[in-house]
Amino acid sequence: MSRKFFGTDGIRGRTNQGAMTAAMAMKVGQAAGTLFQRGSHRHRVVIGKDTRLSGYMLENAMTAGFTSVGMDVILLGPMPTPAVALLTRELRADVGVMISASHNPYEDNGIKLFGPDGFKLSDADELAIERMLGEELALAASAEIGRARRIDDARGRYIHAVKASLPASVRLDGLKIAIDCANGAAYQVAPSAFWELGAEIVAAGVTPNGQNINKGCGSTHPELLQETVVSAGCDIGIALDGDADRLIVVDENGKVVDGDQIMALLGTQMAARGKLKGGGVVATVMSNLGLERYLSGLELTLERTAVGDRHVLERMKSGGFNVGGEQSGHMILLDHATTGDGTVAALQVLAALVQSGKRASEVLHLFDPVPQLLRNVRFAGGKPLEATSVQAAIAEAEASLRGEGRLVIRPSGTEPVIRVMAEGDNADKVEAAVASICHAVEEAAA
């Protein structure tokens, strides 16, 4: 069965259109609630959300769906995605739901589902829910309809958990930290966690109004954080995205540090302490060749997967790795969380900074990335990558980069776009390779 609604990270789309309506959210709640009523205990679901205006609508719709099939609902309110994964396990829930479209603008929203182990659902469970969305599901008898309640201490539970990811001896006293929460799910918990560990906090992106999530702020728009770090004289800057599973760092000079450099730091720090599992780090095909060469020089491997933190996590679990992520800032540290957690990853970075006694610029730039260029080509329809002219352009570009670079070409999983990426030691060859392939795709799609 092919997927109609689930993508690489749950269900996502423009609200009140397509799959992201209140009616569909209620149906997803009914399907997931039916699927996860396994065993004879009283069943429950944990639901969190980010700060989008549409979160109210979808939260209520999903509550109706779950309760209508006999499942109790625990409402967390605005909380990071990793907090939902954590509390699903801690509260012994059968399923967890995060209502969020991550780094997308407020007009979009999404539904992410977690199993009772706190990991995102398996392909089999997602396909089962897809199938059930087209079926008439049995509703609970009147006496068996579920109840819903909101818990007030969810933020405190999560803050305690992320602080526990650090050794008790590590404090952040003396550090001045700028943190941009993207007006999203972590706008309360992340600044509180850093402050409780002793840091002086300069906060941005902490005034959500339902429509400003990710707008000119957060990990996808680091310019605000760069300005804040420099103008306030901060030691380091931390940027999260709308649901706080992604992290980008800015050093004291305002220079952006992406996920590749963060993985290099955390991987080598853990290797030095004998804590790195799997003999390396897991990343995607988009991670810079410089990272791969740096790790190789330390006799560590870089395992590459398809794009998406879901694929990274699958490879980590199958290969016994405990550090993985994406260049975009998804950081998965399986010793501390079952999904990407920007706040936990940020604390590991801050611990490394404290323990080194050095400036952020000295700690966070461990390798020089090779020139890398990514361009998107939008097309109206068809399969331009199958065109003979495009295949020839790709072959020619691969030949030009052979031995000193690489090429990654992939269709987007969510929109009619071909993503063309090249990297290599020669910037001119990289640019020429991308330009020739993009031109061929545009011609084939015309």
pLDDT in tens, 136-160: 999 999 999 999 999 999 999 999 9
Both 116 and 206 in one domain: the answer is no
Angle CA 109–307–383, to nearest 5: 90
> 383, 377, 373: which is closest to 419 by C-alpha?
377
Both 115 and 144 in one domain: the answer is yes
pLDDT in tens, 315-342: 999 999 999 999 999 999 999 999 999 9
> CA 113, CA 9: separation in Å to the nearest integer?
9
Among 152, 176, 202, the domain-final residue is 152
Q: Is residue 263 within 8 Å of residue 291, measured between CB atoms? A: yes
* pLDDT of the residue at 413: 67
Both 190 and 328 in one domain: the answer is yes
In a domain, 210, yes or no: yes
Residue 109 three-state SS: strand
* Helix, strand, coil percentages for the chain (3-state, nearest 5): 40, 20, 40
The average pLDDT across 186-190 equals 98
> 327, 289, 290: which is closest to 307 by C-alpha?
327
Both 166 and 93 in one domain: the answer is no
In a domain, 175, yes or no: yes
Residues marked active site are found at 102
In a domain, 87, yes or no: yes
Residue for token pair 């853990």: 270
**H-state helical runs in 18-164:** 22-35, 55-68, 81-90, 123-133, 154-163
Question: Within its chain, how far is the Cα of 408 from the centroid?
Answer: 21
Residue 253 has pLDDT above 90, yes or no: yes
* pLDDT of the residue at 308: 87
Give the number of other Cβ atoms within 10 Å of residue 155's Cβ: 20
In a domain, 140, yes or no: yes
Predicted confidence band at 167 (pLDDT cuts at 50, 70, 90)? confident
pLDDT in tens, 373-405: 999 999 887 889 999 999 999 999 999 998 889
Q: Would the pTM of this model clear 0.95, i.e. be above it?
A: no
How many structural domains are present in the chain? Answer: 3
Which run of H or of E encompasses 38? Answer: none
> 8, 50, 43: which is closest to 29 by C-alpha?
43
List CB contacts of 31: < 8 A, sequence separation 6 or more: 65, 129, 132, 133, 137
Among 102, 135, 152, the domain-final residue is 152
Angle CA 254–375–215, to nearest 5: 50
List CB contacts of 332: < 8 A, sequence separation 6 or more: 309, 312, 313, 316, 323, 324, 325, 339, 340, 341
Both 403 and 255 in one domain: the answer is no
As a three-state string, the secondary structure of 367-424 is CCCCCEEEEEEECCCCCHHHCHHHHHHHHHHHHHHCCCEEEEEEECCCCCEEEEEEEE
> 94, 164, 175, 199: which is closest to 333 by C-alpha?
164
Among 132, 152, 172, the domain-final residue is 152
Range of the domain at 414: 372-445
- Number of residues assigned to the chain: 446
Q: Which strands form 405-411's sheet, in the order they lie side by side?
A: 372-378, 417-424, 405-411
CATH code of 398's domain:
3.30.310.50
CATH code of 293's domain:
3.40.120.10
Both 244 and 137 in one domain: the answer is no
Predicted confidence band at 416 (pLDDT cuts at 50, 70, 90)? confident
In a domain, 1, yes or no: no
